[in-house]
Amino acid sequence: MNENAELAKIDLYDLTREEMVGLLAGWGYSAYHAKRLWQGLYREGARSLDEIEGLRPDLLEQLHRETTAAALPVGLATKSGDGFTEKFLLGLPDSEEIETVLMLFKGRATACVSTQAGCAMGCVFCATGQMGFRRHLTAGEIVGQVLHVMRLQEERDKALRNVVFMGMGEPLHNYEATMKALEILTDDHGLAMAPKHMTISTVGIVPGIRRMADEGRPYKLAVSLHGATDEERQALVPPAKRWSLDVLMDACRYYSEKSGRRIFFEWTLIAGENDTAEQAHALGRLLQGMEAHVNLIPLNPTHGYGGRPADAERVKAFQGVLSEYDLPSTVRQRRGIDIAAGCGQLRATTL
Ligand code: SAH
Ligand code: SF4
């Protein structure tokens, strides 16, 4: 079969359960068969269609002819010196490449997945932003990243319960595929991952935040701020020119009210740039009275940006100011820096 015919096949991992039922119904098979297929793929963790028991031979044949359920091929796997972070370069059918990270913490594992090849947002300190936008990922390609990490964990008799959408790309710029992937991952009859263990991180796409609120999406939301005045934020995060802090914070409050959940705010600390007492106070005032938690991330180095991470003293002082406003904050542990798997360092290595 030629390459185009392969590309034209339906990716089974790109279907919600309902869509799978619809596909098979169109071929004349009852929902029972779709259920068998879904459970085989997600409950029993079949790695190929032939492993799934109880599929009718004629159905199996049609599935082979018209669909794929292939794992994303691993181009490169690297492990950090401390062994707690692993990064995978995964290939896509059109030969784009993305990166996925597995982070091991005490008692839990987290997959960090990409939602786009590259990113259109252009944040100055981010390696993905520096490479520009290549394309959106499909839901199946997002699910495929989680499956890769999950299978690896299973081989080690370990579980994977947490997924953060903090790899390459802006999830709310690829809203449909991101939400569809989340529906597939959290489906009760399949992987049944807990919605509260799924975290979407956004640069602050206002219509996307409002849409998540309106649709009652039950996931954790993290908003990347990095600046507490429009001027500071615009210098680091280009979309801040489109949506001012006023407009963004209105959307965040709307989300909080509708969902009843607190929001996480991310802040990459850059020495002499946004680690000042002035910015800390501005951030305190901005979030005061909100159900919020601030994640502070000392800048990770990237080729295209000359800034330096804030030193430990400044980080502490910054936290001190936030606590004056009763704002809880956590300093994100630096991880996987030696293999460029830290926040904002992901970039398809071969590019
Ligand atoms: N596009 C989404 C999710 C991916 S980036 C977003 O921007 O939120 C995940 C987090 O890493 C964001 O908070 C981002 O601002 C941060 N980040 C990007 N580059 C970084 C760097 N060089 N050092 C530290 N954090 C960085
Ligand atoms: Fe895109 Fe997020 Fe990087 Fe900004 S920080 S360029 S939104 S991936």
How far apart are the C-alpha atoms of 322 and 316, rounded to whole Å? 10
Q: Which class for 319: exposed (0-12), middle (13-18), buried (19 or more C-beta within 10 A)?
A: middle
Q: Is 98 in the pocket of ligand 2 (CB under 6 A)?
A: no
Assessment of whether the complete model's pTM goes beyond 0.75: yes
How far apart are the C-alpha atoms of 122 and 145, rounded to whole Å? 24
Q: Is 130 in the pocket of ligand 1 (CB under 6 A)?
A: no
Q: Which atom of ligand 2 is nearest to the CA of 173?
A: 7
Q: Is 208 in the pocket of ligand 2 (CB under 6 A)?
A: no
CA 126 to ligand 1 centroid distance, Å: 6
pLDDT (tens, 9 = 90+) of the chain, 351 residues, equals 456 777 789 999 999 999 999 999 999 999 999 999 999 999 999 999 999 999 999 999 999 999 999 999 999 999 999 999 999 999 999 999 999 999 999 889 999 999 999 999 999 999 999 999 999 999 999 999 999 999 999 999 999 999 999 999 999 999 999 999 999 999 999 999 999 999 999 999 999 999 999 999 999 999 999 999 999 999 999 999 999 999 999 999 999 999 999 999 999 999 999 999 999 999 999 999 999 999 999 999 999 999 999 999 999 999 999 999 999 999 987 788 888 888 778 887 654
- Token pair recorded at residue 268: 């990459």
How far apart are the C-alpha atoms of 117 and 86, rounded to whole Å? 19
Q: Is 170 in the pocket of ligand 1 (CB under 6 A)?
A: yes
Q: Which atom of ligand 2 is nearest to the CA of 203?
A: 7
CA 186 to ligand 2 centroid distance, Å: 25
Q: Is 186 in the pocket of ligand 2 (CB under 6 A)?
A: no
Query: Could you tell me which of 74, 72, 73, 175 has the C-alpha nearest to residue 115?
Result: 175
Cα three-residue angle 134-137-138, rounded to 5 degrees:
150
How far apart are the C-alpha atoms of 116 and 340, rounded to whole Å? 18
Pairing of strands 198-202, 162-165: parallel
343 is catalytic: yes
How far apart are the C-alpha atoms of 337 and 351, rounded to whole Å? 19
CA 347 to ligand 2 centroid distance, Å: 11
Which residues is 135 bridged to in the sheet? Answer: 117
How far apart are the C-alpha atoms of 147 and 158, rounded to whole Å? 13
> H helices of the chain, where?
3-8, 17-26, 31-38, 57-66, 127-131, 139-155, 175-186, 206-214, 230-236, 245-259, 277-287, 312-324
Neighbours of 253 (CB within 10 A): 15
- Token pair recorded at residue 297: 């991330």
Max Cα-Cα span within the chain: 68
Query: Could you tell me which of 157, 207, 174 has the C-alpha nearest to residue 98?
Result: 174
Measured in degrees and rounded to the nearest 5, phi and psi for residue 11 equal -80, 115
Probe residue for ligand 1, chosen from 166, 233, 263, 331 as the CB with the greatest number of ligand atoms within 8 Å: 166
99 is catalytic: yes
Catalytic member of 119, 126, 252, 343 = 343
Catalytic member of 99, 183, 232, 273 = 99
Nearest CA to ligand 1 atom 4: 166
Residue 138 amino acid letter:
T
